A and B are shown apart, each in its own frame.
Chain A
Amino acid sequence: MLEIQNVSKSYDKKKLAINNVTMTLEPGDLYGFVGPNGAGKTTLIKSIAGIISFDSGTITFDGHTIDKEPIAFKKQLAYIPDHPDLYETLSGRQFVDFIADAFDVSLERRNQLIGQYAAEFEMLDALDKPISSYSHGMKQKAALIAALVHEPKLILLDEPFVGLDPKAAFALKKTFKDITDSGTIILFSSHVLEVVEKLCNKIAIIKQGEIIADGKTHEVLKDRSLENFFMEIA
Chain B
Amino acid sequence: MFLKLLRIFLKENFGARRLFGSKAAQSKGRKIALSFLFVYLFASIGFSTGAMFYFSGLTRELMLYVASYATGLGFLFALLQASGFLFHFKDYEIIGPLPIKPLSLLLAKLMTMMVFIYIVLTALTLPIFIVYYIFVPFDILGFILLLLGYFLLPLPAIILGSFLSLIIARISKHFAKSNLIQTILMFVIFLTIFGISLIGGASGDQGSMIPVWVIDAISAFYLPNEWYASAVHENNLLNFVYLLLSHALVFTIFLLIISKLSVKTNQNRTANKQVIIKSNKLRKTPILTALIKKEWRKFVGTPIYIFNCGFGLIMLVIMAVASVFLKDAIAAEVGFFSPFILLIAYGFCVVTVYTPAISLSLEGRNFGLLKTLPIKGETIMSAKIIFNLLLLLPVIIITLPFASYGLGLDIWTALSGFLVLVSFTILTSIFFAWLNLFFPRFDFKTEAEIVKQSMSSFIAVFGGMGFMVLEGAMLVGIMFLLSSLHIAFSLLVLVIVNALLSLAIYWPMHKKADRRLQKMEA
Binding site for B on A (CB under 8 A): 10-13, 46, 49-53, 70-72, 74-75, 77-79, 81, 84-90, 98-99, 101-103, 132, 156
Contact = CB atoms under 8 A, between A and B. Distances in A.
B92 to A, nearest CB: 6
Residue of A72, A77, A102 with most chain B CB atoms under a 10 A cut-off: A102
Interface string B64-99: 000000000000000000000000001111101111
A132 B17 contact: yes
B378 interface: no
Contacts of B11: 87, 89-90
Given A84-B94, A85-B91, 20 more contacts: A12-B273, A46-B93, A51-B92, A51-B93, A52-B267, A53-B268, A72-B99, A74-B98, A74-B99, A79-B93, A79-B97, A84-B93, A87-B8, A87-B12, A89-B15, A98-B4, A102-B100, A132-B22, A132-B443, A156-B97
B91 A77 contact: no
A85 B93 CA distance: 8
A102 B8 CA distance: 13
A89 to B, nearest CB: 5
Contact of B97 (A78, A88, A98): A78
Contact of A51 (B12, B96, B264): B96
B278 interface: no
B270 A51 contact: no
A74 B105 CA distance: 14
B264 A53 contact: yes
Nearest to B15: A89
25 contacts: A12-B270, A46-B93, A49-B96, A49-B97, A50-B96, A50-B267, A51-B97, A51-B267, A71-B101, A79-B93, A81-B93, A86-B94, A87-B11, A87-B91, A87-B94, A88-B17, A89-B17, A89-B18, A98-B4, A101-B1, A101-B4, A102-B98, A102-B99, A103-B99, A132-B443
Nearest to A15: B271
Given A71-B99, A74-B97, A101-B1, A52 B268 contact: yes
Interface string B343-362: 00000000000000000000
Nearest to B95: A102
A90 B8 contact: yes
Contacts, number: 79
A61 to B, nearest CB: 12
A102 B268 contact: no
A85 B1 CA distance: 21
Contact of B94 (A11, A71, A85, A103): A85
B98 A99 contact: yes
Contacts of A53: 264, 267-268
A81 B92 CA distance: 11
Interface in B78-136: 90-94, 96-101
A74 B17 CA distance: 32
Contacts of A49: 96-97
Interface residues of B, number: 30
Contact of B1 (A13, A74, A81, A102): A102
Contacts of B12: 87-89
A70 to B, nearest CB: 8
A98 B100 contact: no
Interface string B1-45: 100100010011001011000100000000000000000000000
A88 B13 CA distance: 10
Nearest to B101: A71
B284 interface: no
B297 interface: no
B269 interface: yes
A80 to B, nearest CB: 9
Residue of A98, A101, A156 with most chain B CB atoms under a 10 A cut-off: A98
A87 to B, nearest CB: 5
A48 to B, nearest CB: 9
Nearest to B93: A81
A77 B97 contact: yes
Contact of B8 (A81, A98, A132): A98
Q: Which 4 A-B pairs have the closest CB atoms?
A: A53-B267, A11-B271, A79-B97, A74-B99
A88 B267 CA distance: 24
A139 to B, nearest CB: 11
A75 B96 contact: no
A123 B18 CA distance: 26
A168 to B, nearest CB: 20
Contacts of A98: 4, 8
A89 B112 CA distance: 15
Residue of B92, B94, B443 with most chain A CB atoms under a 10 A cut-off: B94
Nearest to B269: A52
Nearest to A10: B270
B493 to A, nearest CB: 50
B15 to A, nearest CB: 5
Contacts of B91: 85, 87
A27 to B, nearest CB: 20
B105 to A, nearest CB: 10
Residue of A53, A77, A99, A156 with most chain B CB atoms under a 10 A cut-off: A53
Contacts of B90: 85
A102 B108 CA distance: 14
Interface string B212-233: 0000000000000000000000
Contacts of A13: 270
A99 B268 CA distance: 24
Contacts of B94: 84-87
A88 B443 contact: yes
A198 B11 CA distance: 43
Contacts of A10: 270
B132 to A, nearest CB: 37
Nearest to B272: A12
Contacts of A101: 1, 4
A189 B223 CA distance: 57
A156 B99 CA distance: 15
